[in-house]
Amino acid sequence: MQFSKSLKLNHIFRRLYRKGASCANACLVLYCRKNGSAENRIGLTVGAKLGHAVHRNRLRRRLREIYRLHEQQFARGYDIVVVARSRAMQADYRQLERAYLTLAARLGIYHPEDEG
């Protein structure tokens, strides 16, 4: 990921849940908040209740790849946390991609017209 880092600190996740803007659909919940830097920090949450580790890790890899492929169209300077819901486990890649990008566009951090 060229313009991004991983978000790993628990207190930043909690602050984002408390003070960040959020948007949700059947598969995902997306939280975002400006971070005051020139790069994005991305955090993924896939709870243990959603399935075995193999399945959770596959979902994480898919979500990371969706962001990586569309990174150019994301606004810079945000902390972004993606929380997977149980329906995300049964969703195929295209459904996840549509859900992710729709939520990001609703929050104003994804601009699809910049593709290319």
- pLDDT tens sequence for the chain (116 residues): 677 899 999 999 999 999 999 999 999 999 999 999 999 999 999 999 999 999 999 999 999 999 999 999 999 999 999 999 999 999 999 999 999 999 999 999 999 876 55
Q: Give this prediction's pTM.
A: 0.92
The type of residue at 16 is L
Q: Which secondary structure element, helix H or strand E, spans residue 42, and what is its range?
A: strand 40-45
The first and second tokens of residue 54, run together, are: 């193999």
Supply angle C-alpha 16, 17, 23, rounded to 5.
100
- Coil, strand or helix at 7: coil
